[in-house]
A and B are shown apart, each in its own frame.
Chain A
Amino acid sequence: MPVIEKVIDETPYIRTFVLDRTFRANPGQYVMVWVRGVDEVPMSLSYENAITVQKVGDATSAMFGLGKGDRLGVRGPYGNGFTLTGRSILVIAGGVGAAPLASLAELAHSSGISVTTLLGARTKTELLFAERFRQAGELRIATDDGSFGHAGFVTQLLERTDLSDFDGIYTCGPEQMMARILNIVKDSMLDRIQLSLHRYIKCGFGICGACCIDPEGLRVCADGPVFTGIRLANSEFGKYRRNECGMKVHVQ
């Protein structure tokens, strides 16, 4: 079990846990993180040796109680991750959705691909990895409360962006945000947009079927979590998901 080497406060609610183990993974792949006695939850790799966690409930709160020298169970990496293509890409990150995208932006930059990032958060202090995105290319920021950059949603920045400049669009964040993005880019770029999905993940191996999405029965944990717009355009995405019991609940 990996040992936590360092904990970095990224924002008041987001921390990075640097581990003593390196994972060979594509940006967008995730690991299952076991907090003993509490729960096991999926987390994207935010660096090759780290996860970046937003405190939202039991497991993530328990992680916030851990420090240097403590252990976390980590299995993976799992899932497909993003596929980098083209010479110029647009990255759209909302909240903790920046976690898998910062390494993607860095990889693109180091491969000579030009990167433009639209980064959104509720408020200035919750902006994640702004410096990493800035180092990788051009950065535009939106905050819901207007405390930094554009006052409003990151999707409004997107509406003002000329998409013909980009060979690919990569996004991760709240489902409502990504659903809006999918509407904005519609048709013209559906095959060139990649979205990282959040569904309740149990096994992570692709075996149990809890995270399958309609109508193709694709497994978010193994066939995803990254899907192209084409796969999601006429799917449950943006409409509903299934909870731990497998009951449909509306995406709000």
Chain B
Amino acid sequence: MELSGGEILIQSLQDEGVEYVFGYPGGAVLHIYDAIFRQQQVKHILVRHEQGATHMADGYSRATGKPGVVLVTSGPGATNAITGIATAHLDSIPLVVITGQVTSKYIGTDAFQEVDAIGCTRPCVKHNFMVKSADEIASVMKKAFYVATTGRPGPVVVDIPKDFTAPHIKIPYEYPTEVSMRSYAPVSGGHVGQVRKAVELLAQAKQPMIYTGGGVLMSESHKELCKLAQELGYPVTSTLMGLGAYPASDKQFVGMLGMHGTYEANLGMHNCDVLLAVGVRFDDRVTGEIEHFCPNAKIIHVDIDPTSIAKNIGVDIPIVGDLKVVLTRMLELLAQDSRRANPEDIARWWTQIEEWKSVKSLAYEASDSVIKPQYVVEKVWEVTNGDAYVTSDVGQHQMWAAQYYKFDEPRRWINSGGLGTMGFGLPAALGVKLAHPESEVVCITGEASIQMCLQELSTAMQYGLPVKVVNLNNRYLGMVRQWQEFQYEGRYSNSYVDALPDFVKLAESYNHVGMKIEKPGDVEGALKEAFAMKEKLVFMDFITDDTENVYPMIEAGKGHHEMRMHPKVGELN
């Protein structure tokens, strides 16, 4: 088969089984867009901003486990995509991002719309490739998908000069069936001796904790994790990124840990003697002040990426490997060896944890005059039967979504944890909806975040993507305001969002449905009404309490045992 470079690119996507490409055309990619036009299999979703394309592809990937694919033009197309690439990078999401480049002979001449896409993206990709000739395109694409999806996944950029995609140069096409890269060999196994040691240590624990993260979702090992946790009977906590890997409604789940984690999760960490850390990276938002982190614990750390191990925190038993393989081995060893921790110790530990739990660290002050954001999230959970895909932006609303929507299934909670990118929620939700048209998809956002990728309401209109937007409108950059309240004596420097649009009219102008909800009594009814409109994107503008803060909180320099609780903790239900 003889094809042009542009056709080869699209044919490669077909051969990879790609369903959707999220993109935006421009001069450097016109040949490629022509190849897209002349086929049906790969569907192109035209976004309104390249950042939106990367977040959509990212949402699609997080919800499915498949790589997300993006196509943008050179120069501003590539730079607009960078925020989304970096977002995917920090959360280890597999993306293949194709950037057009100026014609090869003009590279380095400051040609129109020329930017060094390889240089610009280098620090925020897993890897990038510069295509050097048309006949390289197929093999580079194969490598790009391979690198993006194996090992610790991540975004891969492929930069293609325009002339290599020209229609008049035809070359033989064959998509490689295999990749071999001598410089890239993702690990699988996990050292058998280390796994054995880990299992022995787990059996000696008196106050154990299991700390799980996004790696469990990425490696599809949530079933193995649940089996292991239940076999051991130990408490499980999760990072923001790992929510849903272990069912939140299970009795062994003690909630999220870290900066806005529960009292019982954080004190469990602080007091544990054996910590099993799986698919996590000891991020500073999780550990709090490192000096105070798990002072008495022996730490077992399982991760596929050796650089995650002993990066921030020293560990006693490092295990580099695919979580699925390692957890399966642990289960096998436990099946062979009946030695377990002393049940009395574990019972005593659970009693302690229940005591911490009884503090009710997530209780908030109910109100019948002003809408409490936590209440809205609880009601969203109820109305969707806890079964929706929930995307989020960044701020207080994100934390409330994580705290009050109980995720029982993996890949349902979709947010930018690592980079904390405002603007992620709406485009990500659209990507999820394309992947799961029959499922409910909710974007829980804030009035500031939503405005960072608001233009994608237009994409939703074009493709008829009926997601539900829950705007927790506190008229503030709420998370910023909260820090200013706590740390700057209430000097609210530039955290007030003045001049907000009328979100109802705005939604309506895109032929969506807009609703404004101002009374607590109307929350449930509005949600039911909105979710009943299966075919419509409904933008729900909830006017919420502008003074509400996210609790508990570990402030800068503090450890897990030094949480700042709701001022009325103990009196609340």
A and B associate: no
Chain B positions within 8 Å of A, measured between CB atoms, are: none
Chain A positions within 8 Å of B, measured between CB atoms, are: none
